[in-house]
Structure 1
Amino acid sequence: MTDDPSETPAQRALRLKKAAQAAKSGFPGAGKPPKPLAGGPAAGASKPWMKR
């Protein structure tokens, strides 16, 4: 990558930013595995005050 002398610092930063975003290629979290669902007791499984 050669820097163009007529390129302003803002144009250079935008060019570098676009290149970095293109290297990522995807929305955030695209490569991550899905989070596991919360695993707790069932809705009515443990209510000792309801037992006789």
Structure 2
Amino acid sequence: MSKSIKLLAMLGFVAGLSACGGQQEEEYVVVDPEPISVEPVYTGKYK
């Protein structure tokens, strides 16, 4: 009976490692926003 308990404990340990060890951090990409266009400056009536 102790062999079956050791086998179940070993399988549980391996299952726990495979469940927790395979996680990876998600990658994310940061994109710089395009610059905001500047409004034209008033320079006079006919310029």
Please identify the structure whose Cα radius of gyration is greater. 2
Point out which structure has higher relative CO (alpha carbons under 8 A, 6+ apart). 1
Same fold (TM over 0.5): no
TM-score range relative to shorter protein: 0.3 to 0.5
The alignment's TM-score, normalised by the length of structure 1, stands at 0.33
- Of Structure 1 and Structure 2, the greater helix share is in 2
